[in-house]
Every structure is written in structure tokens, then in C-alpha cells.
Amino acid sequence: MSATVKKEKVSTFFRPISSVTVTNIKQMYDLYAKYYENTSLDIFLTDLSKKSGVILVTRAVDDQIVGFSTQTFFDLKVDGKRVRGIFSGDTIIEQAYWGNNALANTFYRRLIIERLKRPFVPFYWFLISKGYKTYLLMTNNFYNYYPNVNGKDDQYRRVTEAYCQQLFPDAFDREKMLLDFGESYVRLKGDVATITPELVAANPHIAFFEKVNPSWRRGTEVPCLAACDYESLFRSIVDVPLKWVRKHVLGTHRPEGLELAKRQATSSGDHHKQAWLDVDADEAIERTKAS
């Protein structure tokens, strides 16, 4: 990736769904179709119509959309109590802009804004994951989440069941805790987010993802949640600067399995995967093509 592309300026902002233009939709769909199979404009529009808004990443020189993340805000009842969530749908960034953190930064700001709007209502980030990259994004950046390789998540499972029942009643398999939209469902193209035995051995989170979603190759999704609680907020205030120092000053921060994954990408000649692997998942929400 050239330094010129990586440093090219972009604008990132949240747009309510009612303000999304026809031009926006066309550019979003063109980008979406590059990375997904079994899709159509009708499917894309139907899904988009159910969202509250979208974070758009536009190229500063000409306002061309080079990335986006759809968002839905909603309330639900769990054990008789109200909780609030933000659901992330498709999150895609044009390949040439992998490495730009604008989308990730805007998304995290959105989380904080929504958290503070109703400070005493439990608040969660809801997401569904076809591939391990999105799952790692959650596990690498949140302290309390579901599903968790360490277990002890009965409360979060109940919240996950509630949002799946509300959003995806026909696709939700409560016994397997998976979303199965059928054989014709939109899926990632074949070379995206492949899980190898070596990655499974090197990273317990990847191994766990494959355990809970053994049918990921045909597009089944793992419903996940991350708690946006005050404990996590205060811990991140301390941990994020320390992580930056370990990575950029001391050079001691290396996520599990990273070097192995980079060697695999190098040996296969897949430089696009190398670009994603050059950073941690907390810098890569906009790089993950898995949703």
C-alpha cells in the first residue's frame, strides 16, 4: 500500500437513512457488490430500508463513497428490563483505503454518543459475523462480550437471544445460537477471511469462532454483542494509551497468531491479506469485509 493512498484525505460522517441520496445508494451498492456473492440491488435496498442510518466514508477530492457501515438503533426488553442497542450491518471499505482509521473512529464516537444519551439504560453493540475478522474486532476491543471463549456469559446470551428474536425471528436457531438465512443468502467471496488449521492453532479466539460457527463457509452468522458499559469505558481510557506505547514505542505488542497469518499471506502471494494483517483489529473495523 502506497503512502499516498494511505494518507489521502477522506470525510466520514453519519447520515440518517432518510437523508441518503440515490447517488449515495448507487455508490454504496457498487462497493458492496465487489465483495459479496448472491446479492442484488433489491436485496441491498431491502436491508438498507431497515436501518436507522449509515456511516459514510467519502473521498475528499470528489465525494466518492469509498466505505460505509449501516447502523440500526433500537430498544428491547430482557428479563422485564429495557436495554438499548446499536446494530451494525454491512461494514465495507474500498481496498485502496485499508489503513485509514476514519470509519473506526467515527463508529466509536457514535457508540459514546448513544451511550451518553441514556446513561442509565444498559447499552450494547450488536453485530453478526460470517467471518472471524469481525469477531476478532470485538474480542480485541471490548472487555465484556458474547460469545466468549472463557464462558460465564449467561446474561449476555439472554440479551443476544432477545435481539435475534426481534431482528431475525425466521433465521435464528436458538439451540445452535446461529443465524441461518439459507443457501441463497449473501455471502463473502471465497478468498475472504479463510480459516486455516494454523490460524486455529495460533489464536484461541479464531478456534472458538470456528467451533461456534462450523458452517461459516456457507454463510451462517454468529450473533454477537459487546457491552458498552462504564467499566469498559474507564478501562479503555487506561489500556488504549498503554497499548499504543507497547506497539509504537516499545514494539512489544503482537496479537496472537499475527506473525503466522502474515507468513501464510506472504507464502501465498496474497498482498491484500498482508495489508489487513499489518494492524490489530482495533485499527481495522473498516478493513474487515466480513460483517
Report pLDDT for 200: 86
What integer is the mean pLDDT of 70-82? Answer: 94
289 falls within a domain: no
41 falls within a domain: yes
CATH number, residue 175: 3.40.630.30
Asked if pLDDT for residue 134 goes beyond 90, the answer is: no
Strands (E), the chain: 10-16, 36-37, 53-59, 65-78, 81-93, 123-129, 145-146, 172-173, 178-179, 187-188, 222-227
290 falls within a domain: no
255 falls within a domain: yes
Report pLDDT for 288: 35
Question: pLDDT tens digit string along 42-55?
Answer: 989 998 999 999 99
Question: pLDDT tens digit string along 219-261?
Answer: 899 999 999 998 887 787 777 667 767 666 777 765 554 444 4
CA atoms of 227 and 207, how far apart (whole Å)? 22
| CA-atom Rg of the chain in angstroms | 18
8 falls within a domain: yes
Contact criterion met (CB below 8 Å) for 206 and 257: yes
Q: Which three-class secondary structure state does DSSP give residue 194?
A: coil
Q: How far is CA 13 from the centre of its chain?
A: 17
CA atoms of 79 and 89, how far apart (whole Å)? 26
- Looking at the structure of the chain, the number of domains it has is 1
Q: What is the mean pLDDT of the chain?
A: 81
Report pLDDT for 207: 93
Report pLDDT for 234: 79
The better pLDDT of the pair 26, 97 is held by: 26
Asked if pLDDT for residue 278 goes beyond 70, the answer is: no
Domain limits for position 208: 3-283
291 falls within a domain: no
Q: pTM higher than 0.95 for the full model?
A: no
What integer is the mean pLDDT of 67-75? Answer: 93
Report pLDDT for 33: 87
288 falls within a domain: no
Report pLDDT for 265: 45
Report pLDDT for 210: 94
Question: pLDDT tens digit string along 159-207?
Answer: 999 999 999 999 999 999 999 988 766 555 555 557 888 888 888 999 9
182 falls within a domain: yes
